[in-house]
Amino acid sequence: MTLAKFPKTLLVIVAEAAIEKKLVHDVRERGAQGWTLTEVSGAGRGSVREGAWEADRTIELKVICDEAVADAIAAHVLATYAPHYSVAMYFSAVAVLRPERF
């Protein structure tokens, strides 16, 4: 048996925890129906973000949605937050079983 699968876009945003609330708000506002948030640590070109204490945390926000919605979110984040905050984003193609949930 093969399950019916539907293509969607997974957008992953890695950013400073300082903008967590705003990101979640913006993601919902642009049409994403859900999100998953985890705390992460790591390093990038600019700096090491080891999350040693609470003012120094990094989050990973995963959103599965239509490609157009993902693009709109990413464009907004790039324009609004990327100039002053540490932000990394990437897309990947994923398949879901119940497309109406995303």
Partner 1 sequence: MPALRYAMIDVVVLFFLLGVFARLVKSDLRLPEALYETLSIYLLLAIGLKGGIELSKQPLAALAPQVAACMALGFAIPFLLYPVGRALRLGGADAAALAAHYGSVSVVTYAVASAALAREGIAHESHAALWVAVMEAPGLVAGILLARWSARRAAAGGGAGEGARSGWGTLAHDVLFGKSVLLLLGGLAIGAVAGEAGTAPIQAVFIDPFKGVLALFLLELGLVAGGRLAEVRRFGAAVLVIGLGAPPLLALAGGAVGVGLGLSTGGVALLATLAASASYIAAPTAMRIAVPQANAALSITAALGITFPFNIVVGIPLYIALAQRWTAA
Question: Is 30 in contact with 63 (CB distance < 8 Å)?
Answer: no
What sign does the CA torsion over 24, 30, 36, 38 have?
Answer: negative
For residue 52, state whether it binds partner 1 (rule: CB under 8 A). Answer: yes
For residue 51, state whether it binds partner 1 (rule: CB under 8 A). Answer: yes
SS3 label, residue 46:
coil
Q: Nearest Cα to 67, choosing from 25, 6, 7?
A: 7
Task: Please give the full DSSP string across 15-27, using - where no structure is assigned.
Answer: EEGGGHHHHHHHH
Shortest distance, position 89 Cβ to partner 1, whole Å: 17
Shortest distance, position 9 Cβ to partner 1, whole Å: 24
**From the list 18, 37, 89, 94, which residue makes contact with partner 1 (rule: CB under 8 A)?**
18
**Count of positions on this chain that bind partner 1 (CB under 8 A):** 18
The nearer residue to partner 1, 11 or 23, going by C-beta atoms, is 23
| Footprint on this chain of partner 1 (rule: CB under 8 A) | 16, 18-19, 22, 39, 47, 50-56, 80-81, 83-85
